[in-house]
A and B are shown apart, each in its own frame.
Chain A
Amino acid sequence: MDADLWSLYGLMFRSRLFEEAITRLWNDGLISGEMHLGTGEEAIDAGIVAQLRDGDAMALDHRNTPALLMRGVDAVAILRELLGRPSGLCGGLGGHMHLASRQHLAAASGIVGGTGPAGVGFALAAKTLRPGTLAVSFFGEGAMNQGMLLESMNLASAWKLPALFVCKDDGWSITAASAEMTGGDLAERARGLGLETAEVDGLDVEAVWAAAEVAMSGIRAGGKPVFLRARCTHLEGHFLGFQLLRAVREPLKEAGSIAVPLAGSLLRPGGGSLAERVSGLREVLARMRAALADPARGEAGDPVARVRARLTDVARRESVERDVERAVASAVAEALEEHAP
């Protein structure tokens, strides 16, 4: 079967507009706390979710909005949850890192790596109660250094569970380059724990969709659990208002508060040798430069732009986009209507 690019684009475009609306609400102070977006990983979410069937479960991380929306969770209920309303998806009690929909067998956690064991438990229930269904764990490559995630891969292997581990690899463990924090190769780790592994371009929704089909049909047929690694870039960094991105987008506003104490400490008597200080300064500057100048944060790293460019029937595309824009705007208006005091 071929991927239906139009429906995949619809899912991705809707998710993007939805999260752009969330960004505005967050900037206006109507959403509190940290807000981790999935902008940049939509091709991974769409490719996986479009292959799910009734009874499949999802263990979601702190970037959970796209997958929930694509799975069919009510957009207004999600928004109201983020706004902290009693009528929200979780009664305003959970918040964006802890969204859950029992009906969809989907639950999120803000604990890095926590989706590994969560997916295994869902997979155990799937195998026992709903043969032919499976569970997906979503996580980033930073989580691959969390013991419980590796333990859960082994558990899925040992118990021959219908589990798919989806590693959304953006190269960043919060503010650290994952390459500097990780030994060895991730796929090799997963193979060493008895999983099948696959790698796919996480910006190419068609490729993710096809890889998910292969992985899931094997799992549903009783094959080994699968580790699927898909590379992407999170366009807003770790979370909205991410200090490192702010410092490059508004250098005049942010740089002083960083540079002044830094210079003071660098010159303070006592402490390391000159060489140690210089190497420390180099490390700080390199880290900031790397985060700021990540070239993938442009159009080339945007999966929505990429699939859009392939839809050459402009009239049809514009019509799809208009419908999505209207639907998202109406969901936001409906959620806010109740929010007004």
Chain B
Amino acid sequence: VRMMRFSEAIDDAISEAMAEDPRIIVYGEDVPLLRRNLLVRFGGDRVRGAPISEGAFLAAGVTAAMAGLRPIVEVYMADFLGVAVDALLNHASKVRTFSGGTWTAPLVVRVPCGAGYGDGGQHGQSLWGWLAHIPGLVVAVPSTPADAGGLMTAALRHEDPVVFMEHKLLSESWLEFLGSSGRRAVSFDVPAEGARGPCPRPWQPLPFGKAICRREGTDVTLASVGVGVHRALEAAVLLEKDGISAEVLDLRSVSPLDVDAIRASVSRTGGLVAVDEDYQGFGLTGELAAVVAEAGIPARFARVATSATIPYARNLEAQALPSAERIRRAGMGLAQGGTT
């Protein structure tokens, strides 16, 4: 066990996988600089910079994968997937079905996501629900360095496309590059346990669709991914002071979703607060409600998500994103039998 920071763990897992599997290559905008540590270990044929042409280089990753490579394609931010989404929506996700199961596209898309550093509504979206909506894509959203390295290790061994989402608030390098940029006069609400933590050596793949219970509780279940898990853990501490015992479930991947773990937890607690930094409508929170309802589990339900375009102003941004306080209020409401 060693202590690692979030992106350091991802880079380390990639570096180890690349040493074992010569099919793995990495490319994307600014990759020679951003992944300079991989470049000096593996050389320019395997670590390559790309022009600002997301549509072309993401789609090229699909067929490169079909033809035998294992590309990690980096896209600067989840928001910019909008420029290139055809590659995922109409191609990567369809390869296995369209080929009658005879062909696959083992492509990993590494993409920073998330808000909390005041970069405006076009550079802080989460969008994992939007991606998970498409059948045929694995969407992983780690919340700790250990999970990040483990899920990346799994992604690089997976036979189908994986979107690996790296929250910028947990990432020491993205937050420095985009948020503080050398300034001391700015601060961010970074969850310490998510930004740095113990990591296994060597890396072991974490299976997709396996949630983990971060905190046990009896009165209500708080379920989330990424930074939302840490906000839920903070809320659980607050709720405990209110006499409410909250369980915190870290889903780790949005697709596949660990339906069994969600149902088991909610069956015990009788209440679910779905916490999601992604948009509220037609997304993960609604999906969680459906998972519980479809199983006929009688449970109270509430959700804390982002319901509108993320505002630029830091104070408004903080109000728009799920906070421990908003989660606490939702948990209280359920425990007091408010919402059904």
- B51 lies within 8 A of A145 (CB): yes
Answer whether residue A268 sits at the interface, using C-beta atoms and an 8 A cutoff.
Answer: yes
Nearest chain A residue, comparing its CB with the CB of B38: A265
- B312 lies within 8 A of A111 (CB): no
For the complex, give the distance between the alpha carbons of A81 and B316 in Å: 13
Binding site for B on A (CB under 8 A): 26-29, 32-34, 81, 84-86, 90, 92-98, 109-113, 142-143, 145-148, 173-176, 180-182, 239-244, 246, 254, 258, 261-262, 264-266, 268-273, 275-277, 279-281, 283-284, 287-288
B47-75 at interface with A (beta carbon < 8 Å):
47, 49-56
Given contacts A98-B312, A266-B40, A284-B32, contact A142 B51 (CB under 8 A): yes
Which chain A residues border B192 with CB–CB below 8 Å? none
A258 to chain B, nearest CB (A): 8
Q: Which of B56, B119, B122, B183 contacts A109 (CB 8 A)?
A: B122
- B120 lies within 8 A of A240 (CB): no
- A84 lies within 8 A of B185 (CB): no
Given contacts A174-B30, A174-B52, A265-B38, contact A271 B181 (CB under 8 A): no
Residue interface mask B182-211, A partner, CB < 8 A = 1: 110111000000000000000000000000
B307 to chain A, nearest CB (A): 14
Q: Which of B16, B46, B118 contacts A84 (CB 8 A)?
A: B118
- A181 lies within 8 A of B49 (CB): yes
- A241 lies within 8 A of B33 (CB): no
Binding site for A on B (CB under 8 A): 15-16, 18-20, 29-30, 32-33, 36-47, 49-56, 79-80, 82-83, 117-123, 176-183, 185-187, 309, 311-316
- A280 lies within 8 A of B123 (CB): no
Which chain A residues border B187 with CB–CB below 8 Å? 29
Given A262-B36, A271-B41, 20 more A-B residue pairs with CB atoms under 8 Å apart are A28-B185, A29-B187, A32-B118, A33-B179, A34-B181, A81-B312, A92-B316, A93-B309, A94-B120, A94-B121, A142-B52, A176-B29, A176-B51, A181-B50, A239-B181, A258-B36, A272-B46, A276-B43, A276-B44, A284-B39
Give 12 CB contacts A-B under 8 Å.
Answer: A28-B185, A29-B185, A95-B120, A95-B312, A97-B119, A97-B122, A97-B123, A111-B82, A265-B37, A272-B46, A277-B43, A280-B43
B79 to chain A, nearest CB (A): 8
Number of A-B residue pairs, CB cutoff 8 Å, is 191
A213 to chain B, nearest CB (A): 31
- A241 lies within 8 A of B309 (CB): no
Given contacts A109-B122, A110-B120, contact A276 B52 (CB under 8 A): no
Which chain A residues border B180 with CB–CB below 8 Å? 241
B53 to chain A, nearest CB (A): 5
- A283 lies within 8 A of B44 (CB): yes
- B183 lies within 8 A of A176 (CB): no
Which chain B residues border A254 with CB–CB below 8 Å? 182
Nearest chain A residue, comparing its CB with the CB of B79: A111
Given contacts A92-B313, A145-B52, contact A33 B118 (CB under 8 A): yes
- A284 lies within 8 A of B40 (CB): yes
A243 to chain B, nearest CB (A): 6
